[in-house]
Chains A and B, each alone.
Chain A
């Protein structure tokens, strides 16, 4: 009986854990994003591959370096910064000069995450912080699009991609307009089938609504995403755009165009649902999601820009703590008014 004389470990209960960890959740989000990224490379070729690589590498390296400096221990192993890098890369135009991509990646991590205290502390989605900064700094480059499935996309790069830092990038003559820009500025509606399958122009990873939904469904079945958030975002966006379209089909885009174009699908599924920036209660998630969906459509419809998902999510992140402040579960055995928030 050698075992019985062994030193025992003691802790207080519970002594078992569910097996989920931050790392496993984040890794599965990365997995869910892989098909989206692969499709992006297929659609936009080398430009997308380089954009994604540089985006992920700049985010990961920045996090590695800053966390090593601040705590002596690199935190890239929890996979969260890989998500940031991937999402950030997927929201960029494929022809964006790579030096801008790298700069934005550093901004994502430093201004989006590190300054607030790292994982779990960031009020805003870090990927969108980086993207928003680029949008403000380089408005032309951030709205110059490449047509998908261009011939020779695996052999050559757009001339802008390798533009030298701080020079004015040259854009190829043929630059594709996104479905939203087509609608907003020319009132041309893109076919629904092309939208769903991703046969359009747009940011690196926002074009294939179908693959995004598949990735999201995977996370939902593993309980790694609160399904209420994408449901609320898409539901609210659909409700508002359908109402407008019904009232005036000439003026307002169809709900199908609204749902499957631009960053709405990617944003609703992978960015609005980011655990850190969203409310903790299910009711809160419904409110938060609906707010984002409505805001995105409002910006798209009446704002100056064709796309509004990024700002809608950032605004949603901003009100999320306020939602949590007001919406709390009613504690068992109390009446609603007794529960203080």
Chain B
């Protein structure tokens, strides 16, 4: 559907964007931490298998872990250095995970090792998929789903349209914005790889219209032989969710429980596309990514190209945080995960780091009032659930009714309901608990 000339979806919310401070800042290289901690599971799927041993000297860009099966990707050394150890490291989920501890050589030139290129002209679709897997590419928007798995189109299905997701609806984050401004050619090369790999006939790049410079820049450099167009989207959260993007751009809905492929579409994040276009011609892998470091507590806000495995503590010390910082999120404040400790490291799925202070935390979830049936959540839910009714069921732990009568499993946890709730009921938080319980029950059944 269209609203005032821009495409969008129904419902959704308008949180303050807070992008002004970093949107104009070019991507800068982040320095190497004295120790990089590279978890072997940075994606959805099976952990990668380390192919280096303790004490081994490795070169930046070298493969340090191989994929373990199809649902897994390779990992590459973010710096030239020596493997200090392979041991456990905390992760955002709270679990300890296996990680490679890499100590970069201080005086190294940090030249990147090239691998076997994947030539766009001659590679077959399967070869491109293998190259994407070997490059360790996962969804850089935050989901970290292995990209080659997403691109592998099952028998009997097809993707007519490739949608490049440049919405970046998450408040505070400006990484995709900068990538679109600074890596236009990489994006278009990436689109060529993706079109070839998936057999899609055309491509739409969806960008929220709060990035008019990015829209203009992309349109200006659009190669004439590329079947692609750039479409402005209304600024609204969660515009960057796959289903919302498809509805906005194609005017159809993804069937409940289905994938974008069921709407003949495929969505790939714009930063992921740019990385594919940047890495595949050189046979390189992902050893760094672009993130936004921002938030009221951060002093040197900006967009950085940061080595994978940079510890959060080093990151915050480098950019400087105010002493009253009390909340640090990996990602933005709507979808991001709160960091339980500063010993985590930046992984491929980290699109930003936002830090907040006590003073900025005035909007706390201090006291929950009873539901007053205002209907704000019903008007906010982008997939037209009734969060208020779901909340009542969740309180009574009626998980089966939540699933069967209220489509709980369709909830993709955008958090719009919790954001608008004037009673401060932790709706989406309760739904996460309920969904986990349902999955557990199904797994044991």
Which A residues form the contact surface with B (CB < 8 A)?
Answer: 1-22, 24-25, 78, 80, 117-121, 226, 275-276, 278-282, 285, 328-334, 338-341
Number of A-B contacts (CB under 8 A): 181
A286 to B13, CA, bound (A): 23
Known contacts A13-B329, A330-B384, A333-B253; can you find 12 more A-B pairs with CB under 8 A? A4-B317, A8-B325, A11-B365, A20-B422, A25-B372, A280-B386, A331-B384, A332-B247, A333-B254, A333-B256, A333-B383, A334-B256
Please name the residue on chain A nearest to B336 by beta carbon: A13
A21 pairs with B428, CB closer than 8 A: no
A21 to B313, CA, bound (A): 35
Q: Which residues from A are CB-within-8-Å of B374?
A: 25, 275, 280
Q: Which residues from A are CB-within-8-Å of B379?
A: 282
Which B residues form the contact surface with A (CB < 8 A)?
Answer: 13, 15-16, 171, 243, 247, 253-258, 297, 313, 316-317, 321-329, 331, 333-342, 356, 361, 363, 365, 369-376, 378-379, 381-386, 388, 404-405, 407, 410, 415-416, 418-424, 428-429, 432
A22 to B373, CA, bound (A): 11
A276 pairs with B372, CB closer than 8 A: yes
> Given contacts A9-B326, A17-B365, A17-B418, are A3 and B373 in contact (CB under 8 A)?
no
Q: Which residues from B are CB-within-8-Å of A7?
A: 326
Q: Which residues from B are CB-within-8-Å of A338?
A: 256
B323 pairs with A12, CB closer than 8 A: no
B369 pairs with A13, CB closer than 8 A: no
B420 pairs with A275, CB closer than 8 A: no
> Given contacts A120-B369, A333-B410, are A4 and B342 in contact (CB under 8 A)?
yes
Q: Which residues from A are CB-within-8-Å of B334?
A: 13-16
Q: Which residues from B are CB-within-8-Å of A5?
A: 342
A19 pairs with B363, CB closer than 8 A: yes
11 contacts between A and B (CB under 8 A): A3-B325, A6-B323, A12-B337, A13-B331, A17-B365, A18-B422, A20-B422, A119-B370, A280-B374, A331-B384, A340-B405
B372 pairs with A120, CB closer than 8 A: yes
Please name the residue on chain B nearest to A2 by beta carbon: B323
Q: Which residues from B are CB-within-8-Å of A281?
A: 375, 378, 386
> Given contacts A25-B422, A340-B405, are A8 and B340 in contact (CB under 8 A)?
yes
Q: Which residues from B are CB-within-8-Å of A9?
A: 326-327, 338, 361
Q: Which residues from A are CB-within-8-Å of B365?
A: 11, 17
> Could you say which of B243, B361, B420 contacts A20, with CB atoms under 8 Å apart?
B420
> Given contacts A10-B340, A281-B378, A331-B256, are A17 and B325 in contact (CB under 8 A)?
no
A121 to B371, CA, bound (A): 8
Among A5, A20, A25, A332, the most chain B Cβ lie within 10 Å of the Cβ of A332
B333 pairs with A332, CB closer than 8 A: no
A314: min CB distance to chain B, Å: 17
A20 to B429, CA, bound (A): 19
Among A4, A25, A120, A340, the most chain B Cβ lie within 10 Å of the Cβ of A4
